[in-house]
Amino acid sequence: MRVGLDFAGSLHVKDSEHLQNVYICLFTCMVTRAVHLEMVMDMTTISFLAAFLRFIARRGRPS
């Protein structure tokens, strides 16, 4: 599975009373063009790695 990666955002999301900025981590399969979206709270390395691990858990490790 060959995968492309990009970030989108920031998006404004209201959680109860607070307005937060969130980002979308976009994974795209280069063969089938399937798209997988993961929401991340910020653009730090730790947030990206958590999103990447969620992607791997669901779709498998990309080549």
Taking only the tens place, the pLDDT of each residue in 26-57 is: 999 999 999 999 999 999 999 999 999 999 99
pLDDT score for 1: 75
**What is the structure's pLDDT at 45?**
95
* pLDDT of the residue at 44: 93
Q: What is the pLDDT of residue 12?
A: 94
The whole-number pLDDT of residue 33 equals: 93
Query: Bridge-partner residues for 6, per DSSP?
Result: 26
With 90 as the cut, is the pLDDT of residue 22 above it? yes
Using CA atoms, how far apart are residues 19 and 21, in angstroms rounded to an integer? 7
Residue 3 CA to residue 19 CA, distance in Å, equals 32
Is the whole model's pTM more than 0.75, yes or no?
A: yes
Of the candidates 55, 40, 32, 53, the residue with the CA atom closest to the CA atom of residue 7: 40
